[in-house]
Amino acid sequence: MGLAKRIIPCLDVRDGRVVKGVQFVDIRDAGNPVEVASRYDEQGADEITFLDITASSDNRDTILHVVEEVASTVFIPLTVGGGIRVLDDVRRMLNAGADKVGINTAAVFNPEFVKEASDHFGSQAIVVSIDAKQVEWGDNPRWEIFTHGGRKGTGLDALEWAKKMADYGAGEILLTSMDRDGTRDGFDLALTQAVCNTVNVPVIASGGVGNLDHLVDGIIEGHADAVLAASIFHFGDYTVQQAKQRMQDAGIEVRITG
């Protein structure tokens, strides 16, 4: 009895449609975000995360309408990330019905923004997304922060960065392995465990889920508080319900619904 580990389906949204690309190329259409979110809610998703990857500034408000519509029909926590750069972006997302916003690139270029946002809206509303790539192997592995979908290195050490972001008021860390994202090879468990050992805020493991055992590994071996996955749910390989069943069978405490 106690706090359940969470399963969080992630929807990449571009121009108001759900898409899923493999390492950000070869983007495939995966449906209407409101319908997809409702389906996950019915299946027992613990939260839903939207990542807005809309490129054109003309369509920047599309995501706000999506969030508004989802928040009127789905009564579980919603997180929205992508293009959050200033306090007003945070305010607009929260007003549209998001419970948390994910800050990624803006945190890298202006760490103080995380402080300002958590002071203004509370840590519970601020998720810092960390995209990390392994840069050293062997006995002392090291990961660095990358931006621009994993293309640009920053030189920042991922563990130091995670600690700094938690100190600056991040209420949660969304940790994505850019080496694994889209590969379906499973989470980078060494990275996940290293970050979980470093910070005392909840960590969501992300990047690389290809089957249900990967979700179990993320919790048991990676020590994550929550696991995020996209493609295994979008294309109907597995339902959230099946994922929870597998986790429960592995001895993990989960919220079983219906």
Partner 1 sequence: MTSIIVVDFGMGNLRSVAKAFEHVAPKATVRISGDVSEIRSADRVVLPGQGAIGGYIKALHDTDLEPAVLEAARSKPFLGICLGQQVLYESSDEHGEDGDSVKTLGLFKGQVKHFTHVSSDPQAMLDPHTGHQYTIPHMGWNQVKQAIDHPMWDGIDDLARFYFVHSYCVQSELDEDVAGVTEYGVEFTSATARENIFAIQFHPEKSQHDGLKLLENFVNWNI
- The answer to whether 150 touches 104, Cβ cutoff 8 Å, is no
Binding mask 85-124 for partner 1 (x = CB under 8 A): ---------xx-x-x---------------------xxxx
Q: Determine the Cα angle at 198 with ends 194 and 199, to 5°.
A: 125
* Between 31 and 171, CB nearer to partner 1: 171
Q: Where are the alpha helices (H) located in the chain, listed in sequence order?
A: 33-43, 62-73, 87-96, 105-109, 112-121, 158-167, 189-198, 212-220, 231-234, 240-249
Judge whether 131 counts as a catalytic residue: yes
Euclidean distance between CA atoms 25 and 22, whole angstroms: 6
- The DSSP 8-state label assigned to residue 186 in this structure reads -
Are 209 and 187 within 8 A, CB to CB?
yes
Mark the segment that binds partner 1 (CB under 8 A) among 144-152, 154-162, 205-213, 218-226.
Answer: 218-226
Residues composing the chain: 258
Which residue out of 46, 52, 89, 131 is catalytically annotated? 131
- For the window 160-199, what string marks contact with partner 1 as x by the rule CB under 8 A? -----------xx-----------------------xx--
For residue 162, the minimal CB distance to partner 1 (Å) is 13
Report which of 67, 73, 30 is spatially closest to residue 50, judged by C-alpha positions.
Answer: 67
- Asked if 255 is part of the footprint of partner 1 (rule: CB under 8 A), the reply reads yes
- Does residue 80 bind partner 1 (CB under 8 A)? no
| Comparison of 51 and 173: residue with beta carbon closer to partner 1 | 173
Residues in 9-48 at the binding interface with partner 1, rule: CB under 8 A: 41, 46
User: Can residue 51 be called a binding residue for partner 1 (CB under 8 A)?
Assistant: no
179 is catalytic: no
Q: List the catalytic residues.
A: 12, 131
